Amino acid sequence: MRRGVDMVKARRFGRPLAVCALFLALAVSDLACSANAGDRSPFNDAVVPGGAALTLEAGKPAICSQLVHSAGFRDLDVDMTELASASSAPHAVERLQAAAIELRSLARKATAALRADLAATASALDDLKARGIRDSSAVRAVSHALMRLGGEMQTRCEFPVG
Amino acid sequence: MRVPSRLGRLAAGLVCSFALLVEFPTFVPESWAGPAPGLCHMNTARGVIPASFAIQACTDTRYVYLHNNLTVALTVKVSGDVGPVKRTESDYGLAADATRLHSSDPWIILPGDTLRIPVGARGASFRLYDSRSAGFYALAETVQTFVPGTGPAVIGAFTGLISELNDDFSQYKDCLIGRNWIAQLGCRVLFTRNVSFAFARATVTALATGALSAVLAGATFTKWLGAQVPAVEAVLGSGTIQIAPTQAVAVTPAAPPTATAPTAPATSGFAIGSRFDDDCVIAWPTAPVYTSNSIEMTMSCEHVPEDEYLFTNVTYDNTGFQPTPDSGTIHVVGQVVNVARSAYGFSELVVQASSVTIVGNSG
């Protein structure tokens, strides 16, 4: 008798419970989505709009991880946008300076082959900071340095490509 | 070391899936795309509208109607026997004006546009493609909210700005290919500089603040990119509208035998008193009107230029002839007896028919 009641209850509440579980799962996944979308996780998100994801496979040289974890370097796009959009962007200038410092710090620990590219990128960022985003030669120098550094790092780190 | 964790990748997958749904809503055609009887009096005797067709479409055997109910600009590739297209626009905004000015494609269909394409006796086919102006339109939509005023000068300057930005976006997209995130930062630096220059050069006066930031925002690039994606996802695979030659209609079982002369070639004049001999359909959404001794039909006729005579008003003194709006093509022989002029400004050819024969019934 008792078992029969339980079965009726199970039938009565089974479906709503399943629906609740579905809602719960959706809510949890929604929270997970919000958390990922909200913070600026250094991994998975593309660094630039439409760009390749930022991931790193195991077993790569330490310099790969160190560059990935360099927040100032990763956020260069944000700084560029701020420099272009505002007549005065003191925070962006500060962050550019910090990025250049981080790159020089990495350069000191890097192999000779990488050291020059890291230092050249830091130097180009310094120049851009001083001359502004509308200075064509400064922009070209930064772009060139980043592409060269990207090529050098690729052979070691094998990042995903676009 | 394994960065990121498996959980991280799973979360990223969820984020990516969600982002795809949110960021590229134009992937998926509207649920009410495909056959759209509301656009015309559907008659599938010469061909059907594929259910998968990415936008709303209708055919009444003489015309194909296409209505872009998506949010991206498209183009239609037409082959076969078609007449001059009639376009009805519903978007009169700056973005639409600029896109029309910029595009040299006569077959572009902006969101909200309806094309009415006459199909001749030899039949035709219609297939959708993404427009080369789709990205331009997407960008123009974003920037137009920052532009005060309108008028030819503003439209011209705005078109110039969007054209340059569109080139910058294309260059940036190409630059990203085959590069990792570090080199892509290099692409982004150039892109930011180029967009900044485009705004500095723009002759659009009094651009509201925030326009540059809006263009540089990641969402704008996503929207620009997404406007071109339907080429792969929804548009290219949406099928072809095939309108068969009229001979195919003539052999449909329901068509009664006819002894009338073949349709006369296109006539250049419709002077009062001249002979009238043409294939016509009852113009949607009208219906035949009966008097005690005649039937009156508002018709569209194959060789009557619609820019001259919007309709052909046919009177036939035979109440035994009772076509319906579904009758399809009707062969009318008679005489032009008058030209009526509507208070709205258009003209109608008035024909007194001596012979009226149904040649194409609905399928």
What does the domain layout of chain A look like in residue ranges? Answer: 1-39, 62-157
Name the percent of chain B lying above pLDDT 70.
80
Nearest Cα residue to B286 out of B63, B70, B41, B92: B41
CB A67 within 8 A of CB B190: no
Q: Indicate the average pLDDT of chain A.
A: 78
Question: Are B3 and A65 an interchain contact pair (Cβ–Cβ within 8 Å)?
Answer: yes
Q: Indicate the average pLDDT of chain B.
A: 81
Instruction: Average the pLDDT over A77-98 and give the result.
Output: 88
Mean pLDDT lowest among A59-73, A101-115, B208-222, B233-247: B233-247
**pLDDT at site B345:** 62
Question: Are A50 and B4 an interchain contact pair (Cβ–Cβ within 8 Å)?
Answer: no
Whether the pLDDT of residue A16 is over 70: the answer is no
Q: Please name the residues between 127 and 156 in chain A that touch chain B, using a CB distance below 8 Å.
A: 133-134, 136, 139-140, 142-147, 149-151, 153-154
* pTM (2 d.p.): 0.63
Highest mean pLDDT, choosing among A63-72, A137-146, B275-284 = A137-146
Instruction: Show residues of chain A in contact with B183, CB under 8 Å.
Output: 146-147, 149-151, 154
Q: Which residues contact B140 (CB under 8 A, 6 or more apart)?
A: B94, B95, B96, B98, B99, B158, B162
Given the cut 0.90, state whether the ipTM is greater than it: no
For A65, nearest residue in chain B (alpha carbons): B3
Put simply, whether B194 touches A (Cβ < 8 Å) is no
Whether the pLDDT of residue A33 is over 60: the answer is no
CB B59 within 8 A of CB B108: no
**pLDDT at site B285:** 63
Give pLDDT tens digits for B36-52: 888 999 999 999 999 99
Q: What is the CATH number of domain B253-358?
A: 2.40.50
For B173, nearest residue in chain A (alpha carbons): A50
When pLDDT is cut at 50, 70 and 90, the band that residue B272 belongs to is confident
**B347 in the Ramachandran plot: left (φ > 0), alpha (ψ -120 to 50) or beta?**
beta
Residue with the two structure tokens 């949110």: B22
Whether the pLDDT of residue B115 is over 90: the answer is yes
**pLDDT at site A151:** 96
Structure-block tokens of residue B293: 């001794």
Instruction: Show residues of chain A in contact with B186, CB under 8 Å.
Output: 142-147, 150
CB B192 within 8 A of CB B103: no
Instruction: Show residues of chain B in contact with A55, CB under 8 Å.
Output: 3-4, 9
**pLDDT at site B79:** 93
Whether the pLDDT of residue B251 is over 70: the answer is no
**pLDDT at site B233:** 65
**B139 in the Ramachandran plot: left (φ > 0), alpha (ψ -120 to 50) or beta?**
alpha
Higher pLDDT, B6 or A68: A68
Residue with the two structure tokens 């258009």: B346
Instruction: Average the pLDDT over A141-149 and give the result.
Output: 97
Q: Which residues contact B122 (CB under 8 A, 6 or more apart)?
A: B80, B81, B245
Whether the pLDDT of residue B12 is over 70: the answer is no
What does the domain layout of chain B look like in residue ranges? Answer: 24-243, 253-358
* Gap from B3 CA to chain A (nearest CA, Å): 5
When pLDDT is cut at 50, 70 and 90, the band that residue B265 belongs to is very low
Phi first, then psi: what are they for A56, rounded to 5°? -140, 125
Instruction: Show residues of chain B in contact with A76, CB under 8 Å.
Output: 185, 188-189
Angle at B99 between CA B93 and CA B101, to 5 degrees: 105
**Angstrom distances, CA of residue B174 to CA of A131, A147, B228:** 27, 14, 14
Give pLDDT tens digits for A20-31: 343 334 333 333
User: Rounded to whole angstroms, how far apart are CA atoms B252 and B363?
Assistant: 8
When pLDDT is cut at 50, 70 and 90, the band that residue B247 belongs to is low
**pLDDT at site B341:** 76
Instruction: Show residues of chain A in contact with B218, CB under 8 Å.
Output: 49-50
Mean pLDDT lowest among A39-43, A107-111, A118-122, B296-300: A39-43
Where b means 16+ CB within 10 Å and e means fewer, B243-264 reads bbbbeebeeeeebeeeeeeebe
Whether the pLDDT of residue B280 is over 60: the answer is yes
Cis peptide bond prior to B325, omega within 30° of 0:
no
